[in-house]
Amino acid sequence: MSGDHPVSDTEKKLLLSLLSFYREIGPGATPGLKGLDEEAGLAPWELSEAVKSLRARGLIEYWELQPAVRLTPDGLRLVLRLSGEGGA
């Protein structure tokens, strides 16, 4: 599973930010990248690197047209574990 690899602090910040959107909006939450760096407390280049890494591992989906991102089921399971809410 992709979530077995450790995540960096930057990636964790992005995942936790996406979890907040998931909770507020629901499973279809697809926040645009514009402003997401500030929401997650990241520099723009950190956001770009985190998106690239998490996308390559199948933990988020990416839409180029908006651009926007969304948690995948594996990403949701991982971030719930990271936040202390998920099981094994």
Domain residue spans in the chain? 9-82
| Tens-place pLDDT, residues 35-83 | 999 999 999 999 999 999 999 999 999 988 889 999 999 999 999 999 8
Q: Residue 88 pLDDT > 80, yes or no?
A: no
Return the structure tokens found at 64.
């180029």
Pick the CATH number of 9-82 from 2.40.50.1070, 1.10.760.10, 3.40.50.300, 1.10.10.10: 1.10.10.10
Query: 56-72 in b/e burial notation, b at 16+ Cβ within 10 A?
Result: ebebbeeeeeeebbbbb
Structure confidence at residue 3 (pLDDT): 45
